Structure 1
Amino acid sequence: MKRPRADHKEVAHALRQHPGVWLPVGDYRNSISADDIARRIRTGYPLGNADGSTPYLPAGAYESRTELVDDGTRVHARYIGGAA
C-alpha cells in the first residue's frame, strides 16, 4: 500500500501556528527513513526534494521524535521558535 507523501510545507506552517505542540509529520515504512526525516527537521537540512529546500528553518527551531506504529514509524515534530 502506497503511503501519502507528507506535505512538509503544510506541516511546518501548522507547527508554527501551534508552538510547543507535537503534531504528526507522516508515517514511514521503516525507522531508517523516519529517523532521517526527523534529523532533517531538527537540523533544517534539505529534505531531498528537487529544489533542495526545507520549510524547517531556521535550524534548531523544530524538535522531532519518532514512534513505532503498526505499519512503520511515525515522525512527530514541534516548533520551539527561533529567529527567522
Structure 2
Amino acid sequence: MSRPVKRPSADHKQIAEALRQQPHVWLRVGDYRNHLSADNVARRIRRGYPIGDRAYGTPYQPTGAYEARLERIADGTRVHARYTGGAE
C-alpha cells in the first residue's frame, strides 16, 4: 500500500487577504483528510481564533467577519470561507 500524498498547508494570511479583496465570495481554504480537523479550522475562522501557533495569530479578524462551511469531497473534507465585511 502506498502512502497518501501530503497536501500543501494552507497559507491563511494569503487566503484571508484574498477573501477581503472579494467580499461575500466563497473561496477554498483547504482540503483535510480528517473531518474533525476541517471542522476545527472552520470554527477557528468563524470565531477569529488563532490557527496553529499562537505566535502566528489569526488573520481572520475581527471576530465574526468571516463565515466558513464544510464540503465532503472524495478523500476528505474541504473548507470554504468568505468575508462578510464586519462583525455580526
The answer to whether the superposition gives a TM-score over 0.5 is: yes
Q: In structure 2, how many angstroms separate the alpha carbons of the residues matched to 1:68 and 1:14? A: 23
What corresponds to 1:41 in structure 2?
A: 45
CA displacement 1:15-34 (0-9 Å, x = unmatched): 00000000000001111000
What corresponds to 1:2 in structure 2?
A: 6
What corresponds to 1:55 in structure 2?
A: 59
Q: What is the TM-score normalised by the length of structure 2? A: 0.90
Bigger-Rg structure (1/2): 2
Q: How many residues align?
A: 83
RMSD value, Cα: 1.2
**Are 1:82 and 2:86 matched, yes or no?**
yes
Structure 1 unmatched runs, 5+? none
Q: In structure 2, how many angstroms separate the alpha carbons of the residues matched to 1:59 and 1:52? A: 16
CA displacement 1:37-84 (0-9 Å, x = unmatched): 00000000111225140000000000000001111100000000126x
One-letter amino acid matched to 1:73? T
Structure 2 unmatched runs, 5+? none
One-letter amino acid matched to 1:35? D
